[in-house]
């Protein structure tokens, strides 16, 4: 039996990537099966999501699965590193390279000074990738891709695209970090938990009181810094035209149902946008089919915002609750005898999770026992103590669709297949099955010496062979066409099955063999003498080890202060800069609402307070710590 390679090498147009999160091996495989061109995953250390770590054995298994579709796996190693951790981090990257990982996502400049394998480098959004000058420096250093700051609009992305040849990765869906580029020290200030070390306490999701410069209360007990989730599903074509080549879904802490649903949704949306755009193609191979209709509102969702993609034009915040509300159903008419009466009928099922905001603005959630038309029977005592006035007129949401979740929990919620052509022909001595992969031009031939036994029904013989050969079953392949070029011979089904299985195994192995991982780009000529755009990096640049400090200083930048995680964070420190402006949110913006501006405002929490300083020229808000946490 022989294996051959036929066809010219496959030539790609612009590769457009849908990038999905992988909490673990199962989540990564699900993302690939549901249409992702690449996934990003954390190891058991040095990940910006410390709660989503994985063994290298699992990462290696995920790489094998992904590479079968020529999809990629990226290692998220985007935390700050201390001096004593550099050696361990370097070892981890070498292990990841040996496991098959395609690129590493990083934020620590020490990476440029390490002796690393030839793995591609992706600059994390924590590196504050906002300006063409900063990104041009990273390109010269040998970075292959930058993850753009979420705050950038289409015009800014377009300006960057004109100044660089790097891959531009941008977030399109999921939870939003309210601080610029995720560079936030609020959690560190409040409880010593550093977001830059992967253990953010998410104080932005807590309730706060808001006072003006005179101490007058503006708002009490609201989740003032809590944002809606990003949803740029209607802006994908505009992002393609602006120069984005990788579309990233957030969610390494989300469950597998979320990953399946959102990945499938964006697969369809991105394919449609690419068809209109017409200048690119998918970065991986194979088509996914789904047993459900993807709908992001049916899994974790805090509402949706395109988040400055078209400038400041939307309500980006969700101050009532940081929890998922889900899909909007209808309004509640009344509550009588423990039964909810709705203004409109809703297609509900026993076990669904519903929620609403009561008359005091508090979120109320419950499961239902049954529903008929406009009537809903909540679980016993779920709404105990509530009056009609508490619920009447409230919008009802479903944040737990039990039937939808059961569909997603099925292992067969999606199937991803590679189209192949099979040719069964008669040689001089043997019969030959040829299986060819149109995506790569690869082809295998497997031979077998069948006896030439005349078929009892010559007219149907070839069709019988064709039907048997197209049964590719649980393999990664799907028969696009089957050609039978033999005489009317009789073939045992078991023999044809064995030949088909062997061909599929050989083609799968050949695809893996011919898969080429991206390699780290060499630094540009003259990079050693190139100056970093910022001459005096302060603590906000997150320099946490001597190797990173030496890198900056080698490129003409004198580090003014090491990272707050190293030197501490005293009162009076700016812990966050955000485009989410509370003056704008409360109708007091000088630019948008003609207000007089006034002085600083204040956030008051249970044990800590912050001053809000407004930079109207830059249209952003700074959060400054006022006092240390009191034990």
Secondary structure, 3-state, 68-104: CCCCEEEEEECCCCCHHHHHHHHHHHHHHHHHCCCEE
What is the predicted pLDDT for the residue at 45? 83
pLDDT at 631 over 70: no
Residue 429's pLDDT is 84
Collapsing DSSP to helix, strand or coil, 139 comes out as helix
Among residues 625, 630, 629, 622, which one has the least CA distance to residue 571? 625
Instruction: Point out the least confidently predicted range of 511-525, 549-563, 586-600.
Output: 586-600
253 HSE (CA, 13 A, CB side): 10
- Give the residue among 540, 48, 581 at the shortest CA–CA distance from 308: 581
Residue, of 623 and 4, whose pLDDT is higher? 623
Cβ-contact 544, 566 below 8 angstroms: yes
The first and second tokens of residue 72, run together, are 């990629």
- Predicted confidence at residue 7, as pLDDT, reads 44
CATH number, domain 14-176+228-298: 3.20.20.70
Q: Are 11 and 256 in contact (CB under 8 A)?
A: no
Residue 8 pLDDT > 60, yes or no? no
The percent of residues above 70 in pLDDT, for the chain, comes to 97
pTM beyond 0.85: the answer is yes
**Res. 222: pLDDT tops 80:** yes
pLDDT reported for residue 50: 66
The C-alpha angle with vertex 591 and arms to 590 and 592, in degrees rounded to 5, equals: 100
Q: Which residue has 């009789």 as its token pair?
A: 490
- Per-residue confidence (pLDDT) for residue 407, from 0 to 100: 93
* Structure confidence by residue, pLDDT tens digits, 115-173: 999 999 999 999 999 999 999 999 999 999 999 999 999 999 999 999 999 999 999 99
Of all residues in the chain, the percent with pLDDT exceeding 90 is 88
Model pLDDT, residue 52: 67
Query: Where are the domains positioned within the chain?
Result: 14-176+228-298, 178-223+570-631, 325-409, 418-513, 535-561
Instruction: Answer whether 472's CB lies under 8 Å from 500's CB.
Output: yes
Please provide the average confidence, as pLDDT, over all residues in the chain: 94
Q: Say yes or no to pLDDT of 11 above 70.
A: no
Cβ-contact 470, 480 below 8 angstroms: no
CATH architecture of 325-409: Beta Barrel (2.40)
Q: What is the dihedral of CA 500, 506, 510, 511, to 10 degrees?
A: 40
Instruction: State residue 48's pLDDT score.
Output: 64
How many Cα neighbours within 13 Å face the side chain of 215? 0
Answer whether 14-176+228-298 and 325-409 agree in fold. no
- What pLDDT digit, counting tens, does each position of 171-214 carry? 999 999 999 988 999 999 998 999 999 899 999 999 999 999 99
- What is the spatial distance between Cα 188 and Cα 184, in angstroms, rounded to a whole number? 8
pLDDT tens figures, 565-616: 999 998 899 999 999 999 999 999 999 999 887 789 999 998 899 999 999 9
């Amino acid at each position: 039996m022989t294996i051959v390679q036929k066809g010219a090498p496959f030539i790609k147009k612009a590769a457009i990537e849908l990038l999905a999160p992988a909490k673990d091996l199962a989540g990564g495989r699900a993302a690939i099966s549901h249409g992702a061109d690449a996934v990003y995953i954390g190891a058991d250390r040095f990940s910006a999501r410390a709660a989503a770590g994985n063994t290298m054995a699992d990462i290696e298994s995920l790489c094998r699965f992904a590479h079968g579709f020529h999809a990629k796996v990226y290692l998220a190693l985007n935390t700050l590193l201390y001096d004593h951790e550099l050696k361990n981090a370097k070892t981890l990257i070498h292990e990841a390279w040996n496991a098959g990982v395609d690129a590493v996502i990083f934020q620590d400049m020490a990476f440029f000074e390490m002796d690393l394998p030839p793995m591609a480098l992706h600059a994390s959004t924590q590196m504050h990738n906002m300006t063409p000058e900063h990104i041009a420096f990273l390109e010269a250093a040998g970075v292959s891709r930058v993850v753009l700051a979420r705050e950038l609009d289409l015009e800014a992305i377009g300006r960057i695209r004109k100044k660089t040849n790097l891959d531009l990765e941008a977030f399109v869906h999921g939870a939003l970090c309210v601080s610029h580029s995720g560079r936030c020290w609020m959690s560190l200030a409040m409880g010593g938990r550093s977001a830059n070390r992967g253990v953010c306490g998410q104080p932005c999701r807590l309730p706060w009181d808001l006072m003006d410069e005179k101490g007058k209360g503006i708002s009490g007990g609201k989740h003032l810094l809590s944002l809606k989730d990003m949803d740029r599903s209607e802006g994908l074509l505009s992002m393609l035209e602006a120069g984005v080549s990788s579309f990233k879904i957030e969610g390494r802490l989300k469950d597998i149902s979320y990953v399946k649903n959102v990945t499938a949704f964006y697969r369809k949306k991105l394919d449609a946008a690419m068809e209109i755009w017409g200048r690119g193609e998918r970065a991986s191979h194979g088509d996914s089919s789904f047993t459900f209709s993807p709908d992001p509102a049916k899994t974790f969702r805090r509402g949706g915002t395109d988040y400055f993609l078209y400038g400041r034009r939307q309500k980006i915040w969700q101050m009532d609750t940081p929890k998922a509300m889900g899909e909007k159903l209808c309004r509640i008419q009344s509550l009588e005898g423990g039964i909810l009466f709705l203004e409109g009928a809703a297609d509900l099922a026993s076990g669904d999770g519903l929620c609403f905001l009561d008359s005091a603005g508090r979120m109320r959630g419950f499961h239902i026992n049954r529903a008929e038309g406009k009537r809903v029977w909540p679980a016993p005592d779920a709404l105990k103590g509530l009056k009609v006035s508490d619920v009447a007129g409230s919008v009802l949401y479903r944040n737990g669709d039990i039937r939808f979740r059961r569909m997603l929990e099925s292992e067969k919620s999606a199937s991803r297949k590679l189209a192949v052509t099979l040719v069964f022909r008669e040689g001089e001595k043997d019969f030959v099955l040829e299986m060819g992969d149109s995506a790569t031009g690869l082809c295998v031939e497997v031979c077998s010496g069948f006896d030439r036994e005349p078929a009892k029904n010559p007219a149907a013989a070839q069709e019988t062979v064709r039907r048997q050969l197209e049964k590719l079953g649980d393999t990664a392949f799907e028969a696009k066409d089957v050609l039978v070029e033999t005489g009317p011979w009789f073939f045992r089904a078991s023999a044809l099955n064995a030949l088909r299985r062997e061909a599929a195994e050989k083609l799968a192995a050949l695809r893996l063999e011919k898969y080429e991982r991206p390699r780290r780009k060499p630094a540009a000529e003259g990079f050693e003498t190139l100056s970093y755009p910022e001459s005096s990096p302060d603590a906000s640049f997150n320099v946490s080890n001597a190797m990173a400090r030496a890198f900056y200083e080698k490129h003409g930048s004198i580090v003014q202060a090491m990272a707050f995680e190293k030197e501490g964070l005293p009162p009076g420190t700016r812990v966050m800069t955000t485009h989410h402006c509370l003056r704008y949110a409360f109708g007091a913006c000088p630019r948008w609402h003609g207000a007089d501006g006034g002085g600083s405002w204040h956030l008051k929490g249970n044990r800590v307070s912050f001053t809000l300083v407004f930079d109207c020229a830059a249209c952003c808000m700074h959060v400054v710590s006022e006092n240390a946490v009191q034990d």
